Amino acid sequence: MPAHEEHDPAQKLHRIRHSLAHVLAQAMQRLRPGATLGFGPAIDDGFYYDFILPEPLADDDLPRLEELMREIIAEGQPFTQEELPGAEALARLEAMREPHKVEYARELLEKKGLATLGFYTNGPFVDMCEGPHVASTKELPRDAFKLHAIAGAYWRGDNDNAMMTRVYGWAFATKKELREYEQARAQALLRDHRKLGAELDLFTIDDEVGRGLALWLPNGAVLCDELEKLAREWEFAAGYQRVRTPHLTRGILYQKSGHLSLYKAAMYPPMKLDDEDTAVLVSEARRALPEGEAWDPELTGAYFLKPMNCPHHHRVFAARPRSYRQLPLRLAEYGMVYRYELSGSLQGLTRVRGMCMNDAHIYLTEDQIQAEFLRVMDLHRRYYDLFGFKDYFLRLSCWDPDDPKGREKYVNDPPAWERSQGYIRAAMQELGLPYEEVKGEAAFYGPKIDIQFKTVGMKEFTVSTNQLDFAVGKRMGLSYVDRDGLDKVPYIIHRAPLGTHERFVSFLIEHYGGAFPTWLAPVQALVLPLSEQFLPYAERVAEALRARQLRADVDRSDEKLGKKVRLGATRKIPILLVVGEKEQADERVTVRRYGIEEQRSLPLAALVEQVEGEVRARKHVRAWADLDAS
RNA sequence: GCUUGUGUAGCUCAACGGUAGAGCACAGCUUUCGUAAAGCUGAGGCUGUGGGUUCGAAUCCCACCACAAGCUCCA
């Protein structure tokens, strides 16, 4: 290995983690003789190894595995490396009875064209592996790793393959770093939106309603309302028009849009009605569908919960003749959609089955694509600046021409895919923000820019999306009359900068740790009367705020001020207003702002004006100076 | 859907084969109070659901439901 790597801490840690994976595998072969191997890489916070086990593994086995690992470390086994020619390597793996390693070796030799394969040996353990590793197991920390989870994982990430048993470990260079990591993790989980959602009465998910179907409690509904208000204002300014569409739709629409052939797995099953004669619909569908496309006439007249708003907006577009003069035509709706997500993937508000989407569809000509795509990205950026998001990245999600399942996942029109991706690349270059290009993440109808966030649990999710659709306009028979008097098919941009209420709010909760800026806060100001005797004045203060549409309430409990302050702070209410004799006498309030040490006394009228101003400007006040500045 | 776990009062947890308990929250009373938890009293649980083992089950076993961490899939 090059000398400089020796001193690079990241490289060194990577070698430690990867070597620990091998130690884990050796320990597993002692604990479960006959275990065979999958992959065992280093990852962001440690390592894992995948196995096929003769006997299942339980959590109770992890301490024993750790013990065995420590023994192996104590033995000080040196790692030795060798390169074997392809045939010899295969023969060795066959002799080792490692079927998955053999499969992978074949692929490396045949598809990637490698001539030799590397093997690493430490003690009795041999693994086909690229390395690098530490020189000896004695370089591995004995107390800076911890096996923390057993999970199933499909061989090579394909659910048609065997499910292997994956053991995860955290690993660091020192015990102190491991402890710090565990503490930081526990700290982060205090911001988990599921925990805060319960503590702050934001939402609940109820078995009797259904898995993945969130109920917004009054406090959470305020967050949704404020987001909708924001979207309404900014979209209005950006030239969008609002529409409204129903939750239920006949199958014919999704047959024409392609959802029933390409998206059916994620749709709730059809509702069939006996008393409707759908013969006319069926013959219409037969005429409209592309030649040779398989379809089920039984579904044409059945009703579906809508998994996307697009087809409805397309019908709005088609409801009137359209001229090129109207383009780009921007139709917006916070629309509720339902998707039958796999039960195991549901997670709080982050992954649900019913969601309200900040949706809009923009119908445009080919030469308008680049400029409009940029305008949409700019809208995204302005939203993110408002919320102060910094920790996200952009992903250009492309189709994957080599995906064996591509025919079931993507509209089959390779030139259109390439052209559309070209437009997005050009727009992104003009935008000048870095992005990562990833194959196989496109929508079925076109490529998109996804904005990726991480939860406090470090799971990555798409929160916003900006998509270019070259396919569905044609399928749906959409057209506008162009300058030359001919009918043309519009391109369509699908965009959702604020994602869905469910996922977006889950990120907002975690981003702010539940301490929302005043404009978003469910309760913006809580008035704390010093004692019962000041209750009437407290009510007057709250009423003065409510008269300006500010969400104010009074703590009417029979508690001491200290308790009321504590409770108000625990609820992360941005503004607490203490009123007692002094305040009542001068028509003033004592203002205590969340997270700000200094309290100020203000005349009631000035307070109302101040809060009204900060809410109108959607300011995030973190210090009194933020207000003084304006 | 799959793998491995976890389900006890509204919340956080205890009881680990022998009569379900605490703190907070809730209700009543006392107190009327100046900046992060006043005091007393009370109510609240068929231990996720359904079976089984046992003289006896929150505790052991099975199935189902839900949740968590992963895999797959996705906003």
- At residue A404, does pLDDT exceed 80? no
Task: Indicate yes or no: strand B within 7 A of the C-beta of A136.
Answer: no
Is residue A407 within 8 Å of A258, Cβ to Cβ?
Answer: no
Distance of C1' in B59 from CA in A59, Å: 19
Going by pLDDT thresholds of 50, 70 and 90, the confidence category of residue A3 is very low
Distance of C1' in B13 from CA in A418, Å: 58
What's A443's DSSP letter? B
DSSP code per residue over A449-511: EEEEEE-TT--EEEEEEEEEESSHHHHTT--EE-TTS-EEPPEEEEEETT-BHHHHHHHHHHH
Task: Indicate yes or no: strand B within 7 A of the C-beta of A215.
Answer: no
What is the average pLDDT value for chain A, to the nearest integer? Answer: 93
Between CA A450 and CA A464 the distance in angstroms is: 6
DSSP code per residue over A346-360: -BTTTB-SEEEEEEE
What would the mean pLDDT of A221-233 be, rounded to a whole number?
Answer: 97
Q: Is A482 exposed, middle or buried (0-12, 13-18, 19+ CB in 10 A)?
A: middle
What would the mean pLDDT of A164-179 be, rounded to a whole number?
Answer: 94
The pLDDT tens digits of the residues spanning A16-25 come to 999 999 999 9
- At residue A431, does pLDDT exceed 80? yes
What would the mean pLDDT of A303-310 be, rounded to a whole number?
Answer: 95
The pLDDT tens digits of the residues spanning A121-135 come to 999 999 999 889 999
ω into residue A434 within 30 of 0, thus cis?
A: no
Task: Indicate yes or no: strand B within 7 A of the C-beta of A186.
Answer: no
The pLDDT tens digits of the residues spanning A229-257 come to 999 999 999 999 999 999 999 999 999 99
What would the mean pLDDT of A564-580 be, rounded to a whole number?
Answer: 96
- Which nucleotide lies nearest residue A342, CA to C1'? B1
Q: What's the pLDDT at A2?
A: 45
Going by pLDDT thresholds of 50, 70 and 90, the confidence category of residue A6 is low
Instruction: Please determine, for the modelled complex, whether the ipTM score is greater than 0.90.
Output: yes
What's A269's DSSP letter? P
CA dihedral for A414, A417, A420, A421, sign (positive or negative): negative
A3-178 under CATH 3.40.50.720, yes or no: no
Longest alpha-carbon distance in chain A: 94
User: Which architecture does CATH list for A214-247+306-512?
Assistant: 2-Layer Sandwich (3.30)
Between CA A189 and CA A421 the distance in angstroms is: 38
- Which nucleotide lies nearest residue A195, CA to C1'? B11
Percent of chain A residues topping a pLDDT of 90: 83
DSSP code per residue over A123-141: TTEEEE------SBGGGS-
Task: Indicate yes or no: strand B within 7 A of the C-beta of A459.
Answer: yes
Distance of C1' in B10 from CA in A512, Å: 25
Between CA A444 and CA A362 the distance in angstroms is: 18
In this chain, the answer to whether the domains covering A214-247+306-512 and A525-628 adopt an identical fold is no
Beta-strand relationship, A525-529 and A575-579: parallel
- Residues lying close to strand B (Cβ under 7 A), chosen from 554-583 of chain A, are 557-563, 565-566, 569-570, 576, 578, 580-583
Is residue A159 within 8 Å of A152, Cβ to Cβ?
Answer: no
DSSP code per residue over A235-251: HHHTT-EE----SEEEH
Q: What's the pLDDT at A630?
A: 55
What's A7's DSSP letter? G
Structure tokens at A450: 């996804």
DSSP code per residue over A565-603: HHHHHHTT-SEEEEESHHHHHHTEEEEEETT----EEEE
What would the mean pLDDT of A299-310 be, rounded to a whole number?
Answer: 94
- Which nucleotide lies nearest residue A562, CA to C1'? B35
What would the mean pLDDT of A415-441 be, rounded to a whole number?
Answer: 91
Beta-strand relationship, A329-338 and A241-242: parallel
- At residue A624, does pLDDT exceed 90? yes
- At residue A520, does pLDDT exceed 90? yes
Between CA A412 and CA A445 the distance in angstroms is: 9
What would the mean pLDDT of A433-445 be, rounded to a whole number?
Answer: 89
Task: Indicate yes or no: strand B within 7 A of the C-beta of A191.
Answer: no
- Residues lying close to strand B (Cβ under 7 A), chosen from 57-76 of chain A, are 57-60
Task: Indicate yes or no: strand B within 7 A of the C-beta of A359.
Answer: no
What would the mean pLDDT of A52-57 be, rounded to a whole number?
Answer: 90
Distances (CA, A) of A47 to A15, A149, A170, A572: 10, 11, 6, 38
Task: Indicate yes or no: strand B within 7 A of the C-beta of A3.
Answer: no
Task: Indicate yes or no: strand B within 7 A of the C-beta of A404.
Answer: no
Q: What's the pLDDT at A599?
A: 96
Superfamily of the domain at A525-628:
Anticodon-binding domain (3.40.50.800)
Matching residue, tokens 């057209």? A479
Q: What's the pLDDT at A277?
A: 84
What would the mean pLDDT of A90-106 be, rounded to a whole number?
Answer: 94
CA-nearest of A160, A91, A154 to A128 is A91
Going by pLDDT thresholds of 50, 70 and 90, the confidence category of residue A7 is low
Going by pLDDT thresholds of 50, 70 and 90, the confidence category of residue A59 is confident
Distance of C1' in B72 from CA in A417, Å: 25
Q: Which strand B nucleotides have any atom less than 7 A from protein CB atoms?
A: 1-6, 11, 26, 29-38, 65-75
Q: What's the pLDDT at A273?
A: 85
Going by pLDDT thresholds of 50, 70 and 90, the confidence category of residue A136 is very high
Is residue A468 within 8 Å of A369, Cβ to Cβ?
Answer: yes
Task: Indicate yes or no: strand B within 7 A of the C-beta of A354.
Answer: no
What would the mean pLDDT of A440-463 be, rounded to a whole number?
Answer: 92
Domain boundaries, chain A: 3-178, 214-247+306-512, 525-628
- Residues lying close to strand B (Cβ under 7 A), chosen from 419-458 of chain A, are 441, 443, 450, 457-458
Distance of C1' in B75 from CA in A490, Å: 24
- Residues lying close to strand B (Cβ under 7 A), chosen from 361-400 of chain A, are none
- Which nucleotide lies nearest residue A560, CA to C1'? B33
B48 C1' closest Cα residue: A207
Distance of C1' in B28 from CA in A558, Å: 13
Q: What are phi and psi of A295, to 5 degrees?
A: -155, 160
Task: Indicate yes or no: strand B within 7 A of the C-beta of A355.
Answer: yes
CA angle (A499, A501, A502) in 5-degree steps: 100
Going by pLDDT thresholds of 50, 70 and 90, the confidence category of residue A528 is very high
Helix then strand then coil, % of chain A, to nearest 5: 40, 25, 35
Across the beta sheet with A354-364, the strand order is: A241-242, A329-338, A354-364, A491-496, A460-469, A448-454, A392-398, A435-439
